[in-house]
Structures are given as structure tokens and as C-alpha cells.
Structure 1
Amino acid sequence: MKKDSVAKSKELTNDIKTILEKYELVNVNKHDFGVYQLSLNRPKVLNALNDELMRQLSDVITLLQNHDARCFVLTGSQKAFAAGGDISEMSGKSYAQVTEEQYVTSIWSKLEQRHIPIVAAVNGLALGGGCELAMLCDIIVAGYSATFGLPEAGLGIIPGAGGTQRLIRAVGKAKAMDVILSGKTLTAIEAERSGLISRVIDDDKVLAEALYIASNIAKRSKPVISMAKKVVDYAHESSLKNGMQYEQQNFYATFALEDQKEGMQAFLERRKPNWQDK
């Protein structure tokens, strides 16, 4: 790892710092290159995901991506990225309540609509909603201690935040069925081999690796990264034919960007590009 490429910690500006103080369940640290580290902060319940935590996470991401964020790193603790949904919150809800509230869907859908990439830095447990949250991110880096799973069927429910849809697209039907129906968990090594996660690394290096990846993303043209993310995401929802057409449209669109001209000219002149983000 090139140390000079890692996003180093920086001070938040006073105005942003003041706004973020009300979000107690998400700790925010700013790093170089517009990288923001977002740390889930419910340690007593292993970062179990309740409505308020997810609402705060959504609000923070929306605020920062409209400010100067170029990439996020989402992490938890050494024991747990997030151990699952908050069962104490869910247990008393009725069919009528979850339907009327659009429980989970109303908040999580906002996270799906973001245009800034998220790198998940996972240690320990990523189960249920925690696994779904990791899969909602764009890249997952995990420590050897990490465990992934969707144990909802053992609680009398099914995954409800994208687990059944994203897992099968990542690991295939057979393994997804095994995880969802039988409660099988995946080690970090198994998850990497199955295509669920990007990199496995020593537990104490996970955050640094995630910040390194995020800094490399953040140093590229912001609109180009946004377009690339959008096209890859679209591949999950379309046929190959439609996906190819969508890729072609966005590929052509990059030639309308000043950054395309700058990037290619910088390559020809053997220098680093000076992105204008337009």
C-alpha cells in the first residue's frame, strides 16, 4: 500500500461539525480527497440497525454528498459491522404497521439513490440487516474475522432490505438459497470466493485498506465515477442487451465532459490530470 495515497484524517469545518453533532448514532471523520468515514455507533447492541440509526445514516450521507464528499467508508466496530436488525423494535409491529410505514423500504431506498460510492469496511458480524447494509455498499473489504449471513428465517421473517435480491446476484441461486433457507453463514474467505466481497485482509488493516480504496476513487473525476457506478448498478436490473445500450449511452456522454478531454490530454502528456468535475 502506498502510504501517500491513503486518505489522512482532517478537521471538519465548523458549520458541518455543528450540523453533524445531532447525529449521535453515526460518527463522522473527514479524510483527504473528500473521503468521509462513517462509523455506526450502537456498540452496546453490536450496531443493531433500528429506524433511527438508518435515518441518521441516510441524512448524513445526503448532507455530505451535497457538500464535498467524493467517497464514503462505512464501518462498525471490531466485534460487529452490524449484527442485524433491531429485533426489539421489530417484534411488536403488525402487518398493518409495517405496510403503512413502508418499514425499512422508506429509509433504505434513499440510500440506494445516492450517487457517491461507499466502501464497506467489515470486521466481525455482518448478519441480517448488517449483511444487507454491506451489500448495499459498492465495495466490501472484510477482515478474516468477518461473518456474513441472513438468519431471518429463524426469526419467522425473511430478509426485507434487499437480502434475497442482492445475495443471489452476488453468489448465485444455490449458495443464496443455502444461506437464506438454512441459516448458513459465510466466512470472509467463502464470501470472497463466492463474489460477495472484494478483498479479505488482516482485521487490523481493514479500515486502512478501505480508506486507500476510497482515496483512489475520490481522486478520479466525480461525474465519471458517478456514471460508472450508475451503469454497473443498472446491470443488476437489466438484460445484457439493455445494459449494453445503457453503457453505450453513458460512454458517449463522457465525451461531453471537460474531464474526458483533460484525462486523455494528461495521459498523452504523461502528467496527472487536473479534474474539473464537469
Structure 2
Amino acid sequence: MAYVTTQDGVEIFYKDWGPREAQVIFFHHGWPLSADDWDAQMLFFLANGFRVVAHDRRGHGRSSQVGDGHDMDHYADDVAALVNHLGVQKAVHIGHSTGGGEVVRYIARHGEDRVSRAVLISAVPPLMVKTDGNPGGLPKEVFDNFQVQLAANRAQFYRDIPVGPFYGYNRPDAKPSEGVILNWWRQGMMGSAKAHYDGIVAFSQTDFTDDLKSISIPVLVMHGDDDQIVPYENSAPLSAKLLRNGILKTYPGFPHGMPTSNADTINADLLAFVRG
């Protein structure tokens, strides 16, 4: 397995498939998952001639289960370490959920020199938690409860999320996939409870407003309007407006986990944007 070691000694696992000279598509996974959550996209883009890269965030998947550094600045710096290690140039960075926040912070913190385009899918920016300046956000008690459930019985919590709101399997007309549910649970349980616990604060309380304003490259913002994890109204439209070159694409009825549940549609739209 391939790893890169960060400046603070964390081993970050990564996948790197495809021709070395091909356009790089760099994937950033959501909480509390791993690079495996991008299987449908990585195989699709590989088949279309691209080089695909994805990593496990620190404390997630096969990366080091360290006790600290579970914040957006460290996440972004870990991405920079991998980009430098691989010598990647002009990549398209695609982030889902928390991974979308990671993409935004990485570009804002490390610059656009090595990035050509970006995509935010069901992403957490600009800010999830409700504050005086963000009245449409979710109450902090929602995220505090996530931490309580994780600490009390992580295994059950990680079963309840994919069975219910993540893929919209709690909707009346839904057709749950047991394989998708088990794969979500498997990925979650591979990671560190400490990293996931701290990560709830990172994805819910980080304000990406200034980061979004600083980005000038084209950014596609993709979001389902039936997202029960990152509500549509306080995320995608606001991010698209803050970006200098943002493009909003809304998917009626699609859930939070739409890269998996609606992979054919998402993959086709990603390919069109990347080629555009």
C-alpha cells in the first residue's frame, strides 16, 4: 500500500491509478469514510483515460490514527503533502461533504497553481452550524448529539446513518441497498473514533466564507435538494454565490450520498465539467 508521511509524522494512505501523463482527478472523501467511497467515480474516470488519486484523511481508513490535527488546516496541509509527493499539476479536485470543505481550504491555503478546476458535491461550506451571522444553519445541539451517539455506540450510529438519511433510504419510495449500507459501515469502522469525534467539530464549525471568496478557478457546486445531512438551502446556493467563478447544479430529490446512489448521473456531469 502507498503512503506519504506529513511534516508532523502522519502516514496518509493514498491510491494513484492510471497513466502518469494523464489529467489528474483528485478525490476527497466525506466523514467518516475513506477513499473507497469514490470507487464508482475512480473506475469511471480511469476507464475514460484519466489518472485518479484519492487518499484516506488522517484518522480515517488506512491512514494513521493520530490523536490530534483533526481540523481543516491539517486536512489541507495533508493534501498539499500528497500533491507535492506525487508532483501533481493542474489537477481537478473533487470533494464530497467534508471533503468539499477540505478542497476549499486546500485551495485557499495553498494556492491555485496546481489546481485547474474544483467540484463541491453535497459539501459542508460555507458553514453548517447556526450562528448570529449564519441564522439558517443547524443548531449546535445537532452536532453535539452526533458526538454523544458516536461515543455511546459508534457501531450502531454508523449503521443508522446509511440505513436512514445519508442515501435517503428513509424515504417512502426508497430501495435500500444492503451492500451500500454495509460498505458505509465498513469504511466508518476502519477509522479512529477520536478522529471522527473531532471531525464533527471540524466539518460543522469551520467557516469557509473567506476561503470561497478567495478562489478564482471554475468551481462546480453540485447538491441534491433532498439532502438530509447537509441541507441544500444553507450550503450550495450560498457557496456558489461566494465563489468568483461558481456554477450551481441542483438535483431534485437526490440525497446526500448521491455520488453512490446516483452515480451514473453524477459521473456524466463530472466528466462534462472536467472536459469543459
User: TM-score range, shorter-chain basis?
Assistant: 0.3 to 0.5
Give the structure-1-normalised TM-score. 0.36
Give the structure-2-normalised TM-score. 0.36
Higher helix share: 1
